[in-house]
């Protein structure tokens, strides 16, 4: 994978509906304009057992905030199975002088891969002034590019039978943690600080050849991490002590994904996994196996996509680990 990893962690916005258990597997992808199996008309979705508002927003490629606003949904977001909701319609963007696919993707908080796919743009991904780009949903422009990984340090807790957490409106950052079965509060999972780092530095999650380095690529795309080639089933070790804040496959293109938050404002990401062995909210120790290498998502050979971030800044993992 030669593109930035667009990972929006929904630790406080994975809103569980009616039944508090999650359904297995990833959310099926529906593109706006194609009628989903549960829709009676275009732009309408009927809630099914186990679905979440976050999952639905990802399936239709729209912002969760826009989905909530369009349907006038307010906390505690306790929509029940069978409820029909409206899906936001996509927007367009007209290319201006100096625009690149990467720049536009950052403005609208999406990925270059998604923009290219939606608009049938092939290599070398050149845009023309006046060209109209279809976007994946309603987006809000930002002054400066947003982080590919955004993790909220504090969570908002609501009763288990209604919603596990609420939308954090500030900066529209969204996180989600599935609580253990006998827990009625998520505060200890989300709000508690991550365990102290080991002091030994970040560990390479796997051993192998780097097949895609950090930084810009010849085709105008960008990699916010590195991709390491390894045999399928190879153990993926967590780079440092931390807390698992996401473990799932709802982000199209990246397959099975694990995000770990570390003290000091660091977050590490592990994508294209085969099996995920760590659970959301789990405290993990440096070197612990949290997954196995796979080829899930938008890759055609077994490899691990690995990122290290501090706050909103992506850091070249090769500068911090020994490969």
pLDDT of 80 higher than 90: no
User: Which of 122-136, 256-270, 306-320 shows the lowest mean pLDDT across its residues?
Assistant: 122-136
If one compares 94 and 78, the residue with the highest pLDDT of the two is 94
Give the pair of three-digit tokens for residue 112.
Answer: 């270059």
Do residues 118 and 246 both lie within one domain? Answer: no
pLDDT of 201 higher than 90: no
Q: Given this model, what pLDDT does residue 273 score?
A: 96
User: Which of 76-85, 157-166, 244-253 shows the lowest mean pLDDT across its residues?
Assistant: 157-166
Domain termination residue (choose one: 77, 108, 134): 134
Q: How many angstroms separate the Cα of 37 from the Cα of each of 29, 33, 211?
A: 11, 13, 39
Do residues 160 and 21 both lie within one domain? Answer: yes
Domain termination residue (choose one: 108, 134, 160): 134
Q: Given this model, what pLDDT does residue 276 score?
A: 96
Instruction: Give the count of domains, the chain.
Output: 3
Asked whether residue 140 is assigned to any structural domain, the reply reads no
Q: Given this model, what pLDDT does residue 193 score?
A: 54
Do residues 275 and 312 both lie within one domain? Answer: yes
Give the pair of three-digit tokens for residue 88.
Answer: 């936001």
pLDDT of 81 higher than 80: yes
**Residue among 71, 88, 94, 73 nearest 137 (CA):** 88
Beta strands at 7-8 and 149-150: parallel, antiparallel or unpaired: parallel
Q: Rounded CA gap, 281 and 279, in Å? A: 6
Strand partners, 28: none
Asked whether residue 36 is assigned to any structural domain, the reply reads yes
**Residue among 72, 82, 30 nearest 51 (CA):** 82
Do residues 22 and 166 both lie within one domain? Answer: yes
**Confidence tier at 242 by pLDDT (50, 70, 90):** very high
pLDDT of 26 higher than 90: no
Q: Given this model, what pLDDT does residue 18 score?
A: 31
Do residues 97 and 218 both lie within one domain? Answer: no
pLDDT of 226 higher than 90: yes
pLDDT of 133 higher than 80: yes
Q: Rounded CA gap, 228 and 237, in Å? A: 13
Q: What is the average pLDDT score of the chain?
A: 70
Do residues 282 and 308 both lie within one domain? Answer: yes
Q: Given this model, what pLDDT does residue 67 score?
A: 84
- Across 225-315, where does the E strand assignment appear? 226-229, 235-237, 242-248, 256-262, 266-276, 283-284, 289-293, 303-310, 313-315
Collapsing DSSP states into helix, strand and coil, what is residue 91? coil
Do residues 77 and 217 both lie within one domain? Answer: no
Give the pair of three-digit tokens for residue 159.
Answer: 């009763």
Asked whether residue 139 is assigned to any structural domain, the reply reads no
Do residues 164 and 215 both lie within one domain? Answer: no
Collapsing DSSP states into helix, strand and coil, what is residue 134? strand
Strand partners, 244: 260
> Residue 263 belongs to what domain range?
210-319
Q: Rounded CA gap, 119 and 91, in Å? A: 12
If one compares 282 and 17, the residue with the highest pLDDT of the two is 282
Do residues 80 and 17 both lie within one domain? Answer: yes
Do residues 97 and 80 both lie within one domain? Answer: no
User: Given 3-state DSSP classes, what are the helix, strand and coil percentages for the chain, each rounded to the nearest 5?
Assistant: 15, 25, 60
Do residues 27 and 162 both lie within one domain? Answer: yes
166-179 residue pLDDT tens: 233 333 333 333 33
Compute φ and ψ for 64, nearest 5 degrees: -60, -45
Strand partners, 92: 134
CA atoms within 13 A on the CB side of 48: 13
Q: Given this model, what pLDDT does residue 110 score?
A: 75
Query: How much of the chain exceeds pLDDT 90, in percent?
Result: 28
282-307 residue pLDDT tens: 999 999 999 999 999 888 899 999 99
Do residues 119 and 222 both lie within one domain? Answer: no
For tokens 């804040």, the residue is 245
Q: What is the mean pLDDT of residues 38-46?
A: 56
If one compares 14 and 194, the residue with the highest pLDDT of the two is 194
User: Which CATH number goes with the domain that contains 112?
Assistant: 3.10.350.10
User: Which CATH number goes with the domain that contains 219?
Assistant: 2.70.70.10
């Amino acid at each position: 994978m030669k593109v930035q990893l667009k990972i929006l962690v929904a630790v406080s916005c994975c809103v569980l509906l009616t039944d508090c258990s999650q359904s297995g597997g990833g959310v099926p992808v529906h593109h706006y304009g194609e009628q989903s199996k549960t829709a009676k008309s275009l732009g309408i979705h009927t809630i099914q057992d186990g679905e979440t508002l976050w999952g639905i927003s990802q399936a239709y490629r729209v912002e969760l905030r826009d989905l909530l606003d369009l349907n006038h949904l307010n906390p505690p977001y306790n929509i029940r199975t069978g409820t029909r909701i409206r899906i936001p319609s996509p927007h367009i963007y007209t290319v201006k002088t100096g625009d690149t696919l990467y720049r536009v993707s950052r403005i609208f908080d999406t990925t270059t891969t998604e923009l290219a796919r939606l608009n049938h743009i092939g290599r070398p991904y050149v845009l023309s002034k006046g060209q109209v780009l279809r976007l994946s949903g309603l987006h809000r422009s930002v002054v400066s590019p947003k982080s590919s990984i955004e993790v909220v340090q504090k969570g908002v807790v609501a009763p288990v039978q209604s919603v596990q957490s609420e939308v954090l409106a500030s900066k529209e950052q969204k996180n989600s943690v599935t609580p253990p079965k006998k827990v009625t509060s998520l505060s200890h999972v989300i709000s508690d600080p991550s365990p102290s780092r080991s002091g030994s530095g970040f560990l390479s999650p796997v051993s192998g050849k780097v097949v895609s380095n950090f930084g810009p690529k010849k085709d105008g795309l960008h990699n916010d991490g590195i991709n390491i080639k390894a045999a399928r089933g190879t153990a993926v070790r967590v780079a440092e002590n931390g807390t698992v804040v996401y473990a799932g496959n709802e982000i199209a293109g990246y397959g099975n994904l694990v995000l770990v938050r570390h003290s000091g404002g660091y977050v590490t990401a592990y994508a294209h996994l085969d099996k995920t062995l760590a659970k959301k909210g789990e405290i993990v120790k440096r070197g612990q196996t949290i997954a196995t290498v796979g080829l899930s998502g938008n890759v055609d050979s077994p490899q691990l996509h690995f990122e290290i971030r501090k706050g909103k800044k992506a850091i070249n993992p090769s500068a911090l680990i020994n490969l």
